[in-house]
Structure 1
């Protein structure tokens, strides 16, 4: 395997989360079992085989490698990918790909699909991805992946298997759909992007930004520029119901040792052991 990006990998309850994320540098994520990518600030060679991508916003550290991703799939004779991104970014992203087509003298086959907050994308029969409104300096969305499960309706709970099959044969709907949020991704956002979407706090796995961690950095300025500070996590500590919280998009103003020291000073319990720094 060609390793062109310093990826980190973490396994949690049957999910493999891979990625790299530093503010203003590049961000990319893959959830291998779900066959989806989040953001494309850089395009790891190994991610090329995943054909569905969700882009949170059009800042360069989240979208710059889109032409490389599309072109490499064509070069390797893979099917054109489907790329979901904020609706307002579609035309400019398409124009960017066409300019690279002229430079590269190669086609850029893909499908760009614009999303508005609340839009849903079905991923096969088992999963659905929902776009969520977040708060950044340009149009942005986060995403939550729900697993769709079917639960027997209460009125049929006492019936035996043959009786349930007989009801189904007559066309009766014997189950209700239950949606379980299994992974959520905020992209870049200020705290209202979290607060306005309770599902971020409920998802089994949350991938979120924690751009600033030093106490001397002013939170009002950080929030104005569409980012979060570690104190935003501290003030919401009792709201996180997640099993795992991945904090990425850390500022390059800090080295890894500084991040770990400052985070553990502010959150000595690491949010009940749920918090993982993406370092």
Structure 2
């Protein structure tokens, strides 16, 4: 082998070992982007398989806002989230809280805030203490901020957002969350001024802003029966039907026998059958987008896509999205 050929091969090896494979880097970056669904103004990483793992990250790039719902799986995507809202205590929705705490600690992040139903605060704290004990970590996990919240509380989030828990209907105590944006706008008489001039007016004590405009942005139901949308058990909050993004479970989607039988089976286990959403499509006329998650692991990705989109009612066409990323990664 000539010296020039050998030199060329060595250069390629060094380039590869240093990560100089530009095509591979591009593919990796593209793959990272692909895990997020673009839904309206939001980018959503929805990792969810019924009974196995659920954790949903929602970002709104235009506002720099993000949050996470449930923590049954601690991913690279959700470890960056400062605010985590937990719907209920089943393992597939809460068991990865200690992992999330530790990963943020390893990455030098500030402790996240974990908002959990009030009755779970002591148990989640004990869970974190137990993990620290198992790891023989005398210092414990980096002080987690575990906050008990109840239905109707106002949770202050970052970037001008807040969340309000609402009751859901599951086999254990559970709650969903509606996230709102609260944006102030300049009063009309100040809109032509520079930021320096506006700052001067504020220092002089002038009220340059309107009252905040409150907008329901995101709703997450967690595990629930369809009764969350009716007044059979609780009165649903009106804003549940006005959000830009509704993230709702549809654990059961099959129609291989009597649909009513399937619906009753879903309700028995505290879940929703897809047919209930489709048969009540009019309820969601003011919702911009619906993301279906939490399908049973017995369904393949292909079957899910077929069932969700083959019989979709006219009123929901263009609104419905589905995430199967968790199943795709497992395959």
* TM-score between both structures, scaled by the size of structure 1: 0.86
In the alignment, the residues of structure 2 paired with residue 135 and residue 199 of structure 1 have an alpha-carbon distance, to the nearest angstrom, of 18
DSSP-derived class of the 2:299 partner: coil
Range with bigger deviation, 247-256 or 190-199: 190-199
1:108 counterpart = 2:141 = yes
Aligned with residue 248 of structure 1, among 293, 296, 308: 293
1:177 counterpart = 2:217 = no
DSSP-derived class of the 1:267 partner: coil
Match of 1:145 in 2: 179
| Cα offsets for 1:156-206 (capped at 9, x unmatched) | 87x6769xx899866669733321111111111111223313322210011
Range with bigger deviation, 8-17 or 47-56: 8-17
Aligned with residue 95 of structure 1, among 116, 122, 126: 126
Deviation (angstroms), 1:41: 0.7
| Cα offsets for 1:195-242 (capped at 9, x unmatched) | 313322210011110110112352123113211011111122012122
Deviation (angstroms), 1:135: 0.9
Tell me if structure 1 keeps the 8 A contact 2:170–2:223: yes
Tell me if structure 1 keeps the 8 A contact 2:128–2:141: yes
Match of 2:11 in 1: none
In the alignment, the residues of structure 2 paired with residue 239 and residue 268 of structure 1 have an alpha-carbon distance, to the nearest angstrom, of 12
CA radius of gyration, larger in = 2
The structure that is strand-richer by fraction is 1
In the alignment, the residues of structure 2 paired with residue 8 and residue 270 of structure 1 have an alpha-carbon distance, to the nearest angstrom, of 28
Deviation (angstroms), 1:270: 7.6
| Cα offsets for 1:120-139 (capped at 9, x unmatched) | 11224621111111111111
1:117 counterpart = 2:139 = no
* TM-score between both structures, scaled by the size of structure 2: 0.74
Deviation (angstroms), 1:145: 1.0
In the alignment, the residues of structure 2 paired with residue 255 and residue 197 of structure 1 have an alpha-carbon distance, to the nearest angstrom, of 34
Count of matched residue pairs? 271
Long gaps (5+) in structure 1: none
Tell me if structure 2 keeps the 8 A contact 1:264–1:270: no
Q: CA RMSD in A?
A: 2.8
